Amino acid sequence: NPFEWLKKVLEIIPDHKANRLHELLPQNLEL
| Residue 3 clears pLDDT 90, i.e. is over it | yes
Closest CA to 8 of 20, 18, 26: 26
CA distance 13 to 27: 16
Residue type, 10: L
Q: Is the pLDDT of residue 31 over 90?
A: no
- 3-state SS class at 7: helix
Sign of CA pseudo-dihedral 20, 24, 25, 30:
positive
For residue 16, what pLDDT is reported?
94
